[in-house]
Amino acid sequence: MGLNYYKIKRNVLKARKLVIQGTSAAGSGHPGGSFSMAEILGCIFYKHLKYDPKNPTWEERDKFILSKGHASPGLFSNMAVAGYFDTSQMKTLRQFGSKLQGHPDLKCPGVEFCGGSLGIGLSYSIGNALAAKLDGKDQMIYTVMGDGESDEGQVWEAAMAAAKYKVDNMTVILDRNFIQQDSYTEKIMPLDEELVGDDLTDMWKDASRWKTGDKWRSFGWNVIDVDGHRIEQISNAINKANQTKGIPSIIIARTIKGKGVEHMEDNPQWHGKAPKPEFVPIIEQELESQFMIAPSIIAGDMSNLEKEVRRCEEGRADYIHLDVMDGQFVPNTTFDHTKIKELRPHTVIPFDTHLMINDPVKHVGDYIDAGSDIITVHAEVCDESSFGEISDMLESNQVGIGLAINPDTELPEWSYKFIPLLDQIIIMSVVPGKSGQKYILSTHEKTQRIIKQLHENHFEGYIEADGGVNLDNIGACFEDGARAFVGGSAIIGQSDVRLIIKEFRNQVLHSRRQLLIKKAHNLGGIELVNQWIDLHVVGKKKDSLVQIAKELGFQ
């Protein structure tokens, strides 16, 4: 069974946009803490939690407890996406008579806990978990806590109780975003080490300063540390926690407050502050402009692909692109599902398997079994019947559905009925079959044209640029509309993969900032551009935005 990677990503995006719409309409709320736990809730709701939105009181359901109840917009948005109520109700957030209040309330079907006073969600969860054991229920309790609420003494009393009673049918996730209502957590009551200055990246970079996990271990808990915005790490940690018996488990998820919107990120101002309506369209475009970098390991040492996978992991690649060539659809050969199966235990990073093979319908099951998280087949070797069979197999196994087209190919007519189901479309910008080719310039116009057609047909997936993508053209590919970028020799062919991926990201960030400043200018002229820039007070983002605005003639 696959990771369900793209479904989770797509639903996390929908939930983030609903948070912005709801808090903006209310004029109040907590977007920062809702965004820091966005991927956490995405993994819980769309991979691990057992529930029925049409029957919220179903006896066999798992339970989700939001202890940091002020982040209710994050909970409500996921409940809306999951089908508990219509997404339009998010705009009633905090209004009189609405079931969506500033903190979760049992008046909203599906809510399990009235979160308000911080520090008691863990105790409540332990009670639910023990009750499930007494009743003989196969039920998991998932609990998300905030790091600010860890100042409460009751948290640590509950921690002792959970260890004593061996509460192993409960998985707790600590949203470790380093910010609470008044300031940075490490300046109020440090869980790791005291923060000197305001640069939270210091806490991320130096794992020797991480003391939170040690505290929980000393209370008798199984502790797992993860990057709280990496879906694969969160999901893998939940699996491990759920399989651990005789001891309670906590996942320390290191996150960024306000993740996904640059001016909110790591900014204490956005703990409990709503975006103004004039900024909502710009923020929504920023959320829709999240992107991913995927190294193609065939450009590396083919005799030691395990090493190349490790280099991708060390380089913080978003996922790993696996080009499978059969010597028939393309003249070269690389590897097949047996090699992918060998590589799978070496990393939890998603595998993006690109099948450049004939008759993919006959072989796709092998690549599902090998551990692929996304599988893309070529339109040139499919028809409506075979691709329908492939997409059904992928969907039922929670594997992302991808379709690729060669440089001289357009989307076939039969593909349009599948567009709403597609997670990914690869628009090849080189002739498939070998690495090191130059980007075909006409692909820019082709990508722009196809994206327009896709949006008209309700496409919600990602466009992946594959072939000849490098530092010189990745910004232009982003402007075309691509949001996933495969790099072969431009990434794996370099000695320092982490550095080159960082440079790739910086190029895309520059293009994204340009796009957003143009959006602000279109909506409100230079005045709105300046207001948008002034929101960016953390780090050096504002300096970059001012320079971009000058280059565009908006200053």
> Residue 58 has which token pair?
């179903």
Whole-number Å distance between alpha carbons of 86 and 400: 25
Backbone angles phi, psi at 172, to 5 degrees: -105, 140
Percentage, residues of the chain above pLDDT 70 = 99
Read off the pTM: 0.97
User: Could you tell me which of 182, 188, 183 has the C-alpha nearest to residue 198?
Assistant: 183
Facing residues of 402 across strands?
376, 424
pLDDT digits (tens, 9 = 90+) for 309-325: 999 999 999 999 999 99
Contact, 68 vs 113, CB < 8 A?
no
Q: What are 480-514's pLDDT values in tens digits?
A: 999 999 999 999 999 999 999 999 999 999 999 99
By mean pLDDT, which of 90-104, 174-188, 191-205, 248-262 is the weakest?
191-205
- pLDDT per residue as tens digits for the range 350-395: 999 999 999 999 999 999 999 999 999 999 999 999 999 999 999 9
Output the average pLDDT for the chain. Answer: 96
Q: Is the pLDDT at 555 greater than 90, yes or no?
A: no
Segment 143-170 shows an average pLDDT of 97
Region 328-356: mean pLDDT is 97
Residue 117 has pLDDT above 90, yes or no: no
Domains along the sequence of the chain with CATH: 31-269 (3.40.50.970), 291-494 (3.20.20.70)
d(Cα 493, Cα 326) in Å, to the nearest integer? 23
The one-letter code for the residue type at 398 is Q
Between strands 462-466 and 484-487, the pairing is parallel
Average pLDDT of the segment spanning 318-339: 96
Residue-wise pLDDT for 423-447, tens only, equals: 999 999 999 886 678 999 999 999 9
